[in-house]
Amino acid sequence: MKKEYLELTRLIERLHRRFLDVLRAELARLGIKNINGVQALLLANIGDEEIVIRDLIERGYYQGSNVSYNIKKLVEMGYLEQERSAHDRRSVSIRLTDKAREVVRSIRELEDNLAETLGQHDLNAEAMDGACRTLRRLERTWTDYIHYGRL
């Protein structure tokens, strides 16, 4: 089990990097040169929501300084709009611009095409569901360890 666990953790890391490469390739295909894969993924994770930056961090998507830097850049390039809360000036909400919605639409189409391609290669919904269950269990185990310091 130890060998499989170690392979799984390394595979997760490689898959994340590879998915960012896929996003970068899609951005290049679309002629979008001013954002990177991480920033495109950030836009996709925001989606149609108006979200407080702190919530992105709390959901576990991003690290604090990393998300702040990328949001600043995305605002400067016209992909995000931001607004400070009238009640708490430290709280900033962000939402996609139309420019960003086009990028997200393209990413969604890519994801649909990739899912269809996987389905054509004998990877069915049941297998994907099993993989997701395993990864969610791993996430819960790691989260418990972070919160409670033990397993």
Tokens 């998300």, located at residue: 67
Q: How many CB atoms lie within 10 A of CB 23?
A: 23
Give 132-142 pLDDT, tens digit per residue.
999 999 999 99
Q: Is the pLDDT of residue 91 over 90?
A: no
Question: Which pLDDT does position 120 carry in this prediction?
Answer: 81
What is the mean predicted confidence (pLDDT) over 51-62? Answer: 76
Q: How far is CA 100 from CA 46, 78, 96, 97, 141, in A?
A: 10, 8, 6, 5, 35
pTM for the whole structure: 0.84
pLDDT on residue 64: 57
Q: Tens digits of per-residue pLDDT, 102-145?
A: 999 999 999 999 998 988 877 788 888 999 999 999 999 998 99
Structure tokens at 69: 């830097």
Residue 68 reports pLDDT greater than 80: yes
pLDDT at 62: 66
Q: Which residue has the higher pLDDT, 147 or 43?
A: 43
Confidence of residue 85 (pLDDT cuts 50, 70, 90): confident
Can you list the domains of the chain with their CATH numbers?
2-120 (1.10.10.10)
Cβ burial, residue 77 (10 Å; 0-12/13-18/19+): middle
> 26, exposed or middle or buried, with CB in 10 Å at 0-12, 13-18, 19+?
buried
Q: Two tokens at 143? A: 């989260």
Q: Amino acid letter at 8?
A: L
What is the amino acid identity at position 59? R
pLDDT band at 60 (very low <50, low <70, confident <90, very high): low
- Whether 20 shows a pLDDT value over 80: the answer reads yes
